[in-house]
Amino acid sequence: MERAKHSVEQLRQVFSGFQAWGDFAGVQPYGSGHINDTYKVSARLAGTPVNYLVQRINHAIFKEPDRLMENVVRVTEHLGRQLAKAGDPDATRKALTVVPARDGLPYVRDGEGNWWRLYLFIEQARTYDIIESDRQAFEAARAFARFQNLLADLPAPRLHETIPAFHNTPARLKALDAAIGADVCGRKAEVAAEIAFVDERRVQCGRLLERHARGEIPERITHNDTKINNVMLDDATGEGVCVIDLDTVMPGLALYDFGDMVRSATASAKEDERDLSKVGSRIGMFEALARGYLSEAAFLLPAEMEELVFSGRLITLTIGIRFLTDYLAGDVYFRTHRPGQNLDRCRTQLQMVRSMEAQAGAMEALVRGIRR
Per residue in 232-265, pLDDT tens? 999 999 999 999 999 999 999 999 999 999 998 9
Radius of gyration over alpha carbons of the chain, in Å?
21
Domain shared by 69 and 151, yes or no: no
HSE-up of 366 (CA within 13 Å, CB side)?
A: 18
Average pLDDT over residues 275-284: 97
**pLDDT surpassing 90 at residue 31:** no
Domain shared by 65 and 170, yes or no: no
**pLDDT surpassing 90 at residue 66:** yes
pLDDT tens digits, 210-223: 999 999 999 999 99
Residue 218 lies in a domain: yes
Q: Which of 99, 122, 145 is the last residue of a domain?
A: 122
Q: What is the pLDDT of residue 329?
A: 98
- Give how many domains the chain has, as a whole number: 2
User: How does residue 296 score in pLDDT terms, banded at 50, 70 and 90?
Assistant: very high
Give the alpha-carbon dihedral of 102, 105, 108, 111, to 10 degrees. -90
Residue 139 lies in a domain: yes
Average pLDDT over residues 80-105: 95
d(CA 346, CA 325): 9
Residue 259 lies in a domain: yes
Domain shared by 248 and 342, yes or no: yes
Q: What is the pLDDT of residue 345?
A: 98
Domain shared by 161 and 113, yes or no: no
Q: Which of 85, 101, 122 is the last residue of a domain?
A: 122
- Mean pLDDT estimate for the chain: 95
User: How does residue 3 score in pLDDT terms, banded at 50, 70 and 90?
Assistant: low
- Give the CATH number, domain containing residue 60: 3.30.200.20
Q: What is the pLDDT of residue 35?
A: 80
Domain shared by 69 and 182, yes or no: no
Residue 128 lies in a domain: no
Average pLDDT over residues 295-311: 95
**pLDDT surpassing 90 at residue 228:** no
Residue 3 lies in a domain: no
Residue 214 lies in a domain: yes
Domain with 168, as residue range(s), is 134-371
Residue 1 lies in a domain: no
User: How does residue 202 score in pLDDT terms, banded at 50, 70 and 90?
Assistant: very high
Domain shared by 27 and 171, yes or no: no
Domain shared by 161 and 13, yes or no: no
**pLDDT surpassing 70 at residue 167:** yes
Q: What is the pLDDT of residue 34?
A: 65
Q: What is the pLDDT of residue 131?
A: 83
pTM exceeds cut of 0.75: yes
Cβ-count burial 309-324 (b if 16+ within 10 Å, e if not):
bbbbbbbbbbbbbbbb
d(CA 182, CA 188): 9
Average pLDDT over residues 312-331: 98
Domain shared by 179 and 32, yes or no: no
Q: What is the pLDDT of residue 372?
A: 84
- Give the CATH number, domain containing residue 170: 3.90.1200.10
d(CA 329, CA 181): 10
Q: What is the pLDDT of residue 1?
A: 42
Average pLDDT over residues 258-277: 94
Domain shared by 148 and 110, yes or no: no
- Answer yes or no: are the C-beta atoms of 18 and 118 closer than 8 Å: yes
Domain shared by 150 and 273, yes or no: yes
Domain shared by 179 and 52, yes or no: no
Could you please report the per-residue DSSP string of 45-65? ETTEEEEEEEEEE-TTTSS-H
Q: Which of 87, 122, 157 is the last residue of a domain?
A: 122
Domain shared by 145 and 215, yes or no: yes
Residue 2 lies in a domain: no
